[in-house]
Structure 1
Amino acid sequence: MEIVEKLNALSAKLQSIQATIQTEEATKNALVMPFIQSVLGYDVFDPHEVVPEFTCDVGTKKGEKIDYAILKNDEVQILIECKKLGETLNVNHASQLFRYFHVTTARISILTNGRHYKFFTDLDAVNKMDEKPFLELDLLDLDEHVIPELAKLTKTAFDLESIINSAEELKYISQIKKQLANEFTLPSEALVKLICARVYDGIVTQKVREQFTALTRKAMVQFLNDQINDRLKNALHGTSPALLAPAAAHTPAQAPTLAPSEASGDADGDHAVETTLEELEGFHIVRAIVRKVIDVKRVHYRDTQSYFGILVDDNNRRRICRLHFNRSQKYIGLMDEHRVEKRHPINGLDDIYAFTTALRNAAKQYTEESI
């Protein structure tokens, strides 16, 4: 899909220049205008399509300006308000969007800092911009589910009715996903109470509640591991090389135990380590890659506060790689010939496949060593 290539190009540009952008104007010129031009397909130099510093008097507010207005058939369709790269985006930053929204023909507004884009419409009340976005885009963490909806906003495929019809579902799916992510990190009291009521017959004391908080989180992570294993197993039976390299399948029962409480111990002495879903999926990708040269039952992980290590025989001296996913720029760390780690930047999980040969070579040396 062409829009994916353009987003990837803009994402790469952002990574290379983000340290040099210090002002809102620089954010607009280097990131927002290319987003409007390249990704959305509107000519930023044609005032019939894009009007910078768009002015519309609102009540007692005279001469107030919005950063960009995107037009179609001479009617305002999209309003864009920009903030400096790195600045946190919230509804307090959108006061001008709120005021302009109900006095123009726009049904879509965007609040952005060049990296994050929040898309709003008027689901809650007609001609009044919602306080919560129906769609969010992060250029440094692209979500494949966002792409088809973003495509509806492009010049060649602009479909306002379709956007509005799907906006409510998108809005609630986004909020539900955030709640689920929170539950995986630290199960809420309400969820723990629900689980206890369904699986525990005794009196729920404070001690029992604390115990089930840990057990619930552990069970959810293991459940997710099972789902990932099933997906990898199905992919291995398929023909798509984009998902996994061809290899013999294995059953989920062969997978090592992946509970964070059992895997977080490390020579570095880190405590209270939070193993993320992305790290777990990265582990499964690496394991699927190296299974061609080593028994996957020998492949384990140890999570620390600094990195996520993938090892052979649960031995720190037998490292396959390290995943550094604790910052906006992600890296995969591989050992060079001098056994010194070299970090390689990656944009997402799929980029791990680019290191297939290196990962297999790393795993293979421990197979030969153990013979």
Structure 2
Amino acid sequence: MEFEERLVALASKVKGQAAAVQTEEATKNAFVMPFISSILGYDVFDPQEVIPEFTADVGVKRGEKVDYAIVKDGAIQILVECKPSVGALKIEHASQLFRYFATTNARLAVLTNGIVWQFYTDLDAPNRMDEKPFLVLDLLEIDDNLVPEIKKISKASFDLDSIINAAEELKYVGAIKREIAAEFREPTTEWVRFFTTRVYEGAFTQKVREQFTSLVSKSSRQFLNEQVNDRLKTALGSEAPAAFLPLAEPAPSPASEVALAGEPVEDSEVVTTPEELEGFQIVRAIACSDVRPSRVVARDSKSYFAVLLDDNNRKPIARLHFNAAKQKYLGLLDADKVETRHPIDALEDIYSFADEIREAVRRYA
């Protein structure tokens, strides 16, 4: 299994088990040790590679332990401190890492709750761990740009010089991206003012701020959706011949093919509409949190536009019923292939069913 596939597999496990993992020990067993083993490639049961409960007395502090010390080439290279997965990580959780970092040869330190992995080094001052991580990996929302950097930390590809050289750029690029994401979720006054003053000539009053806060937020969401759709359209352009094969017309069943009142009689020719393509792109974007985009394909038919996993009719992710003149429906199938049609007013309403779409993907993947 390739490195990326192992990472996706562990991420899928984390998503499925996170709710059941409540303690620090459970977090170590369920998430942290598998990450060290399958992703970083170290034998967690070999004390020459992974030392659990590593102790190094620091000044007046005696008997303190860091959860894991990872050894490479006979020297401690990485320190790992774990916290329960049910809580968010805070810099206060890294107090032992700060102390141990200065007394060992390690240049890398990791603070994790099994879901989020924060990687630290000593960019600001030699032998003193930075207060901010240079890399943050969230297994619930993997940034593909970080995968090659994580791979450098693995045993098979460990390259400390390359890691440190890239750390400063990663640190600031990651921090800026997180700030942008926060502004998109909940724009600050400064963010709203920044855009308002470029499109509105009047004074930036309280009333104007309130009006433009919602406008900036709406514009940000639409911009992101358009960027995702543009990327997917580009991908579809190169895959179009394989992605849209005619779908054999299935025999209707009472459970899955209930005719809707008022649906027009369909033409004999299959016509793929821009709305169907855009709806497919949204479903595909949602499914990409669990599988590679290339595995999510579409087939159009006279009855509906099907989104499938692995181009397999037995692995339906969703169906787009967009042929009706007045009402569009998103069809979702349960484990028994029984379809429920959900009325939607706009294509962006598909995002409301993201959990159901991902659940369908996980059933097959």
Same fold? TM cut 0.5: yes
Counterpart Cα distance in 1 of 2:52 and 2:61: 18
Aligned residue identity for 2:330: I
SS across alignment from 2:153:
coil
Hey, what does 2:348 align to over in structure 1? Answer: none
User: Identity percentage over the alignment?
Assistant: 47
CA distance in 2, matches of 1:116, 1:98: 19
Amino acid at match of 2:176: I
Distance 1:110 1:283 in 2: 29
Shift of 1:44: 1.8
> Which runs of structure 2 are paired with 1:1-371 in the superposition (5 Å)?
2-239=2-239, 281-282=285-286, 292-293=300-301, 312=322, 318-321=328-331, 337=338, 339=340, 346=358, 351=361
Structure 2 residue identity aligned to 1:24: E
Note if contact 1:77-1:105 (Cα within 8 Å) is conserved in structure 2. yes
Instruction: Kindly provide the CA deviation profile for residues 135-158 of structure 1, in whole angstroms up to 9, marking residues without a partner as x.
Output: 122233322222111100111110
- 3-state secondary structure, aligned to 1:51: strand
8 Å CA contact 2:286–2:358 kept in 1: the answer is: no
CA deviations 1:122-172 (Å, max 9, x no partner) are 112221111211112223332222211110011111011111111111112
Kindly provide the CA deviation profile for residues 211-264 of structure 1, in whole angstroms up to 9, marking residues without a partner as x. 22222222223333332332233222213899x657999889x979xxxxxxxx
Unaligned segments of structure 2, at least 5 residues: 247-270, 305-318, 343-352
Q: Which amino acid aligns with 1:140?
A: L
Q: Is the 8 A contact 2:41 2:156 kept in 1?
A: yes
- Deviation, structure 1 residue 314: 9.5
Q: Report the alpha carbon displacement of residue 97 of structure 1 after superposing the two structures with TM.
A: 0.3
Is the CA contact (8 Å cut-off) linking 2:329 and 2:341 kept in structure 1? no
Indicate how the Cα distance of structure 1 residues 200 and 163 shifts in structure 2: closer, same or farther if over 3 A, else same.
same
C-alpha contact 1:283 1:310 (8 A) present in aligned 2: no
Secondary structure of the equivalent of 1:238? helix
Deviations 1:67-124 (A, max 9, x none): 1111122211100111223132111111100100011111111111222211111112
Task: Choose 5-14 or 91-100, whichever is displaced more.
Answer: 5-14
Q: Matched residues in 2 for 1:142 and 1:321: separation?
A: 28
C-alpha RMSD of matched pairs (Å): 4.2
Contact 2:110 2:118 in 1 (8 A): yes
SS of aligned partner of 1:152: helix
- Alpha-carbon offset, residue 191 of structure 1: 2.1
Q: How many residues align?
A: 309
- 1:338 Cα offset (Å): 6.7
Structure 2 CA distance, aligned partners of 1:249 and 1:234? 17
Contact 1:121–1:164 (8 Å) recurs in 2: yes
SS in structure 2 at match of 1:346: helix
Cα deviation, 1:256-303, whole Å, max 9, x if unaligned, reads: 9xxxxxxxxxxxxxxxxxxxxx88944999xx966844899xxxxxxx
Q: Distance in 2 between matches of 1:345 and 1:201?
A: 44
CA distance in 1, matches of 2:27, 2:336: 37
Q: 1:137 is matched by which residue type in structure 2? A: L
- Paired with 1:226 and 1:239, the residues of 2 have a C-alpha distance of 20
Does the Cα contact within 8 Å between 1:184 and 1:220 map onto a contact in 2? yes
Aligned CA distance change for structure 1 residues 28 and 185 (closer, same or farther; 3 Å): closer
Are the structure 2 counterparts of residues 221 and 335 from structure 1 closer, same or farther at C-alpha, using a change threshold of 3 Å? farther
Cα pair distance change 1:294/1:160, threshold 3 Å: farther
Q: Contact 1:321–1:334 at 8 Å: present in 2 too?
A: no
- Measure, in 2, the Cα distance between the counterparts of 1:190 and 1:35: 39
- Between the aligned partners of 2:219 and 2:28, the Cα distance in structure 1 is 45
Structure 1, unpaired ranges of 5+ = 257-277, 297-308, 323-331, 356-371
TM-aligned CA deviation for residue 334 of structure 1 = 9.3
Amino acid at match of 1:11: A
1:18: Cα distance to partner? 4.0
Q: What are the Cα deviations for residues 154-195 of structure 1, in whole angstroms up to 9, with x where unaligned?
A: 111101111111111111222212221222223221122222
Counterpart CA distance in 1 for 2:24 and 2:159 is 30
Q: Report the residue type matching 1:217 in the other structure.
A: S
**3-state DSSP class of the match of 2:143?**
coil
For normalisation by structure 2, the TM-score amounts to 0.70
Tell me how far apart the structure 1 counterparts of residues 15 and 187 of structure 2 sit (CA, whole Å).
Answer: 34
Instruction: State the secondary structure of the residue aligned to 1:235.
Output: helix
Separation in 2, partners of 1:241, 1:107:
50
Contact 1:233 1:250 in 2 (8 A): no
The 2-side partners of 1:95 and 1:18 are apart by 25
Output the TM-score relative to the length of structure 1: 0.69
> How big is each residue's C-alpha offset from its partner over 1:39-81, in whole Å with a ceiling of 9 and x where there is no partner?
1111222222111111111000112111111112221110011
Query: Using the alignment, how far apart are the partners of 1:157 and 1:334 within structure 2?
Result: 41
